[in-house]
Copies of this chain bind each other. A is one copy, B any other.
Amino acid sequence: MKSMTITALREAYLSNKTTPADVLADIRERSKKYADHNIWIHALSDTELQPYLERLEHKPIDSLPLWGIPFAVKDNIDLAQVPTTAGCEAFAYTPQDNAKVVQQLIDAGAIPVGKTNLDQFATGLNGTRSPFGECHNAFNPDYISGGSSSGSAVAVALGLASFSLGTDTAGSGRVPACFNNLVGLKPSRGLLSATGLVPACRSLDCISIFALNSSDANAVLACAEGYDAADGYSRENTYSNRARHFGERTGPLTFGVIPEAQLKFFGDKGYESAYRKTLDVLKNAGITLKEIDYAPFDEAARLLYEGPWVSERYIAIEELITTNPDALLPVIRTIIEPGGEPKAVDLFRAEYRLEALKRICAAPLEDIDCVLTPTAGRLFTIAELLEEPIKRNSELGYYTNFMNLLDMASVAVPTTFTDDGLPFGVTLAGPALSDRALLSIAQRIQSIIPLPYGIEKTTPEANSYAPVSDQNYIDVAVCG
């Protein structure tokens, strides 16, 4: 398999080594052997792909930043003329228009490959909660893919798309990145328009980006972002957070890390060891680690599912859940149905506490470059997850659930593999509109720890301080 990074694919197009039609044919061919992974809810047919190819024909490659780059779309985001199911056929509708973000990517030359499987209504972090089948991990099909953006992550990891769109309300754009050796960007809330997105928690939802590396994530973000007056939660970007401010972060770095007593790996020795190994490598590379109290972050995290925000999930599907509740998977119904109950007084009280927690959690950020946590504490097998589907799902969110409520940006970045060959990664987090700063730090980590991308078998050259555009890729076999 050729590298599917945007850089590699673009070079191949520019040097006439391949064409978008060939790349898409190859993707369709390779997709067949992953049918049991349950990645796609709808893969575009040749006929459906044709217009996307045709519209590129008379446009120079270098006129469009994503010319001919294939991408996957989580099936709670609208792709025109293709059903949006949100993982529930009874809910499905066929939109006339693309989601704003999808339209911007297509306008930039990208080609949608298909709509991907997800935990129903984006409610889950594990990838098993879908009537379209459990989504399987790209590295070992016995393991969960992570969710809710399960198919979007696995598609990129397996080289069936160069990047993909997920969504992230509680960690859905980060946990599957960790489990499938990808960069997962949960942008600052409002940086990407939510027009054309089926809401989970509308006040918190972010369309997220899976990519093979942080440079690709930045390139996609540059095309996907933009203020949208039609989206009440949209916001203007700042000067210092623009695409041109992405680049490998050099110089001294201090990461805020969780004290030993507050770490949780839920019995996963492989992940525990992978995390410690990651910290050792970063320390050896000269990065300072500073412990910060995780308690207020954890308190914010628990507000999300234990507090009244589940009422937003209820609103999003109120008509369905009140008229046809059996259309929902039982686990989803169990979670969302109580969302009609909380009082406004409960929500105001939770909002007051959240505002206080924002202040408390912001204080330690003053002295560090970003927070660094494991992206997830444990990678479960599908069987393990299904034994205790609610408890273990909530364990998956221990390091992710606070982020959206606290209005933070974050980037999941792969850092190592367990002895069993399973991917592990960490999440970098900072205040809203720190996206480019975080991606630049992720780039530094990827330079310090050069891993192969997705399931690729080759690794980029370790090149700690070179600018992104000077990166060279050499074929090096990596064991493990």
A residues in contact (CB < 8 Å) with B: 202-203, 229-230, 232-234, 308, 311-312, 314-315, 318, 339-349, 351-352, 354-356, 358-359, 363
Contact = CB atoms under 8 A, between A and B. Distances in A.
Contacts of A342: 343-345
Contacts of A318: 345
Most buried by B among A344, A351, A358: A344
Residue picked from A234, A348, A356, most chain B C-beta under 10 Å: A348
A363 B230 CA distance: 12
Nearest to A342: B344
Total copies of the chain: 2
A448 to B, nearest CB: 35
Contacts of A315: 345, 348-349
A300 to B, nearest CB: 12
Given A343-B343, A344-B342, A359 B311 contact: no
A348 B311 contact: yes
Given A343-B343, A351-B203, A363 B311 contact: no
A457 B352 CA distance: 47
B348 A346 contact: no
Contact of A232 (B232, B233, B352, B363): B352
A194 to B, nearest CB: 11
B311 A345 contact: yes
9 contacts: A230-B359, A232-B352, A234-B359, A315-B348, A315-B349, A339-B344, A340-B345, A341-B343, A342-B344
A149 to B, nearest CB: 23
B311 A343 contact: yes
Contacts of A356: 232
A348 B203 contact: yes
A197 to B, nearest CB: 13
Contacts of A202: 348, 352
Contacts of A230: 359
A229 B344 CA distance: 25
A315 B344 CA distance: 10
Nearest to A360: B229
A234 B355 CA distance: 9
Contacts of A354: 232
Contacts of A308: 344
A348 B205 CA distance: 14
A207 to B, nearest CB: 17
